[in-house]
Structure 1
Amino acid sequence: MTKPYVFITRKLPDTAIASLTKYAEVKMWPYEDVPVEREFLLSEAKKADAMITMLSDRVDREVMQAGTSLKVVANLAVGFDNIDIASATENGIAVCNTPDVLTDTTADLTFALLLAAARRVVEAAEFVKAGEWKSWSPLLLAGTDVHHKTIGIVGMGKIGQAVAKRAAGFDMNILYHNRSRNEQAEKELGAIYCTFAELLQKSDFVVCLTPLTSETRHLFNRSAFQMMKQSAIFVNAARGAVVDEEALYEALVNGDIAGAGLDVFTREPIDASHPLLKLKNVVALPHIGSASVETRLKMMELCCENVIAVLNGDTPKTLVNKEWMLKKRNV
């Protein structure tokens, strides 16, 4: 009996996909740091029973329609805004993601970004390495305290709640804004629900963890930044397009806010000439929210488990398009 064919759009460690290679014929794009070429992706989609994709891959209607044998796309990310979900469902293709396994790791990075921006950690490290540290002075690279300040979390999902838990350890006041109330966060962490405008006006640190949707695109625009405290620091560990980057740059330059910590950008990888990267009060990271060895391996393994489940006719652990199940039952 012929094994199913699986294409993976980046080179992953053999140990992480061991369960999959026992079950299927697996082909990987041979590069770890170079995105799969579009034409190559389309040609593989025509042959594949399943694909494991990266957040940087555009898995649109053209890919879905090319994949006449395609049964599942497992995205190595919790987000899936790179995938045409409606087209996948229409073509009977399951879409899976990797939530939960990266929650604490992403929360760690988010809070590290907040601390780095507040205490000017990156700027201070570069100051020492450049040989500029000549003497001690009372306000040398003085930042702002984090403890006992107010954090405003926009997007109180699992990662938002994990960030709130870390903020509680710093005796911070926790505000949040979400599509719906998170009673668990309110009860366990003392988080207070408020409107988006109230959160912006009251928070010393505004942390964006909301998914990218048509409603949240450019949620953080010129008006939003002007509502924030001039001493506030903005942190984005969600998706770049939730922020109007031109408006953020203007807010930082004009002193509408004090600083920013960014792990995501509208276009990734961000060009080194981008204006935001020229500002000393910006800490910029290359989208490494979930990038610990342990967590990335767990994400890869979860992708493999989801692929094997679908190809075996079972329900995957982390199905995104629930409508696929209904369509499957009606076939």
Structure 2
Amino acid sequence: MTGKPKLWVTRRLSDATLERAARDYDAVINFDDGLSSDDDLVAMSAQVDAIIPCHSERFTAEIAKKLDPRLKIIANHSVGVDHCDLPALKARGIVVTNTPDVLSDATAEIAMLLMLGSARHAAEGDHLVRSGNWDFWSPSFMVGKQVTGARLGIVGMGRVGQAFARKARGFDMDIHYYNRTRLPPHQEHGATYHASVESLLEKADFLSLHCPATPQTTGLMNAERLALLPAGAVLVNTARGALVDESALLAAIESGHIAAAGLDCFVTEPGGNPSFSAHRNIFMLPHIGSATVRTRDAMGFRALDNVDAFFSGRTPKDLL
């Protein structure tokens, strides 16, 4: 290859990331920040050597078949890669990477915000004051669920799950977790391991989801599993919307079995689930778990590090 490799950045990433991309590559940058269609992905694959996409671009098996041989690497600006059909892309000889490690604390912060906010009626309270309708107070007014000392269940004790557990220990929470493999004792820090999700759910006054979306975890929190949670439990999801059966969650909220939910991700994104809006005990954010300046810079630089390594003849650090 002569000259700089041509790189397509599909969304408007952080300023520092875009400056570096423009400096080191023949960069095509989507400053308008609009979504790319399937046809765009196919057409651009014939014009560039590398793509830095976000979770919003979906590289399905069908799309993978149509990608031009010129495209050599997809360096995702995300940890999750459920938007990429990895076997299909590998079959086309396309390298795929992600950005682990750098967004764990930012996402864990949002999980903590959602847990506290949903437990203590943040959405309802904010609406009441903001609308000018706060005209009453009593000891029984907006009584919520206390986080300090409560039992916390974590599904998925990877980087984000562990970061969330560290923060939850500051609230003296009794931490329980399920993971595909048990952590070594020095990483558990006293947390109780459960060999099954079902065993964990029975102990979880608060449940926080931190596992990837896979065929095995899609619909993980269905009606049967939600029913295993203690009455009055709170559900938090900052991982992927596909983990939760949204109809089942609505039914559990409406019955009162689930006291509240804090959600940063939804089955349909952008947009979310309009049916959730009728329930002030569902505290919602628009998938902003990693949205801090420091983390966005780190994610963009990690993606570029992987592209740099590939075109330097080295194995990218985050090769999938």
**TM-score range for the pair, normalised by the shorter chain length:** over 0.9
SS at match of 1:258: strand
Shift of residue 3, structure 1, vs aligned partner: 2.2
CA contact (8 A) 1:17 1:301 kept: no
- Specify the alignment match of 1:192 in structure 2: 192
Report how far residue 23 of structure 1 moved: 2.5
Say which SS state the counterpart of residue 8 (structure 2) adopts: strand
SS class of match (2:258) = coil
Q: 3-state DSSP class of the match of 1:170? A: coil
CA distance in 2, matches of 1:238, 1:120: 22
Give, in angstroms, the shift of residue 13 of structure 1.
4.1
After superposition, the Cα gap between the structure-2 partners of 1:61 and 1:197, relative to the gap in structure 1 and judged at 3 Å, is closer
C-alpha distance 68-206 of structure 1, shift in aligned 2 (>3 A): same
CA deviation digits over 1:7-29, x for unaligned, max 9? Answer: 11112344313333233211022
SS in structure 1 at match of 2:51 = strand
1:309 and 1:193 map into 2 onto residues whose CA distance is 38
Contact kept? 2:123, 2:282, Cα under 8 Å: no
**Aligned residues of 1:48 and 1:67 also touching (Cα < 8 A):** no
Task: Report 1:175-254 matches (<5 A).
Answer: 175-184=176-185, 187=188, 189-194=189-194, 195-254=196-255
Secondary structure of 1:283's partner? Answer: strand
Give the match for residue 173 of structure 1.
174
Q: 1:4 to 1:190 in 2, by over 3 A?
A: same
User: 2:122: which partner in 1?
Assistant: 121
Give every structure 1 segment of 4 or more consecutive aligned residues whose post-TM-superposition deviation is greater than 3 Å. Answer: 61-65, 184-187
Q: Which one-letter code corresponds to 1:205 in the other structure?
A: F
Partners of 2:13 and 2:156 in 1: how far apart? 31
Distance 1:185 1:155 in 2: 17
Amino acid at match of 1:161: Q
- Does structure 2 retain, via aligned residues, the 8 Å contact 1:48–1:69? yes
> Aligned-pair distance for 1:51?
0.1
**Aligned partners of 1:9 and 1:19: how far apart in 2?**
15
**Partner secondary structure for residue 43 of structure 1:** helix
Q: How does 1:244-323 map to 2 (within 5 A)?
A: 244-271=245-272, 274-320=274-320
Q: Provide the residue aligned with 1:21 in structure 2.
A: 22
Q: Aligned pair in 2 of structure 1 residues 97, 181: CA closer, same or farther (>3 Å)?
A: same
* 2:81 is equivalent to residue 98 of structure 1: no
- The percent of aligned pairs where both chains have the same amino acid is 38
- The alignment status of 1:56 with 2:56, answered yes or no, reads yes
Question: What is the deviation of 1:39?
Answer: 1.8
CA distance in 2, matches of 1:184, 1:318: 26
The one-letter code matched in structure 1 to 2:151 is: T
- 2: CA distance between counterparts of 1:76 and 1:96? 9
Computed over aligned residues only, the root mean square deviation of the Cα atoms, in angstroms, reads: 1.5
Give the letter aligned to residue 169 of structure 2.
A
Offset, 1:186: 5.7
Determine whether 1:76 maps to 2:65: no
Given that 2:14 and 2:300 are in contact with CA atoms closer than 8 Å, whether structure 1 keeps it comes out as no
Q: Which amino acid aligns with 1:230?
A: A
Counterpart CA distance in 1 for 2:244 and 2:278 is: 18
Amino acid at match of 2:202: Q
Is the 8 Å Cα contact of residues 77 and 97 (structure 1) preserved in structure 2?
A: yes
**Inter-partner Cα distance in structure 1 for 2:148 and 2:175:** 12
Residue 79 of structure 1, CA deviation: 0.3
Normalising by structure 2, what TM-score?
0.95
- 2:116 partner amino acid: L
Offset, 1:154: 0.6
Q: Which residue of 2 aligns with 1:44?
A: 44
Q: CA deviation at 1:249?
A: 0.6
What amino acid maps onto 1:243 in structure 2? V
Kept after mapping to 2: 8 A contact 1:20/1:308? no
- The AA in structure 2 aligned to 1:255 is G
CA shift for structure 1 position 93: 1.2
Counterpart of 2:147 in 1: which secondary structure? coil
Separation in 2, partners of 1:120, 1:109 = 16
Alpha-carbon shift at residue 139 of structure 1 (Å): 2.1
Q: Which runs of 5+ in 2 are unaligned?
A: none
When normalised by structure 1's length, the TM-score is 0.92
Aligned twin of 2:149: 148
Tell me by how many angstroms 1:92 deviates: 1.5
Partners of 1:10 and 1:54 within 8 A in 2: yes
Contact 2:153 2:204 in 1 (8 A): yes
CA distance in 1, matches of 2:45, 2:185: 42
**Which amino acid in the other structure matches residue 297 of structure 2?**
L
User: In 1, Cα distance between the equivalents of 2:139 and 2:126?
Assistant: 18
Deviation, structure 1 residue 136: 2.7
> What per-residue deviation string (whole Å, max 9, x for no partner) do you get for residues 56-90 of structure 1?
11112344342311111011111000011112211
